[in-house]
Amino acid sequence: MKKKILLLSDDVRIPSGIGTMSKSFVVNSLEDFDWVQMAGAVSHPEKGKFLDLSQHVAEESGVEDASLILYPVSGYGDPNILRAVIAKEKPDAILHFTDPRFWGWLYDMEHELRQNIPIMY
């Protein structure tokens, strides 16, 4: 069974530097990990939706059991959204990959999160 990683970064579909790099390491590690993303954008047009991109990334990567779920958020989300995603998805680890200046709320709850889930920066 593959480990599930919760990625906190720009939406993998957005051609920003962070979005492009996020997509690269997600697509290139689908054989080893399942991915869930709080997919950030300044004013995300799909905010609040649940998007299963597993079939799309399976076709793109050739990994038959690829898994990529997106939870689009405007800005960078908040503690309540993160708690809800964690409760639903039960990730094995969190990967925070973006500029930390805008994620003060994440660092404020770091102790709470690390009780059950490792965080990688």
For residue range 17-69, what is the model confidence (pLDDT) as tens digits? 999 999 999 999 999 999 999 998 888 889 989 999 999 999 999 999 999 99
**94 neighbors 3 (Cβ within 8 angstroms):** no
Q: Is the pLDDT of residue 104 over 90?
A: no
- Residue 36 forms beta bridges with which residues? 6, 69
- The confidence score (pLDDT) of residue 12 equals 96
Q: Select from 58, 94, 99 the least CA-distant residue to 75.
A: 99
Domain ranges of the chain: 3-120
Question: What CATH superfamily is the domain 3-120?
Answer: NAD(P)-binding Rossmann-like Domain (3.40.50.720)
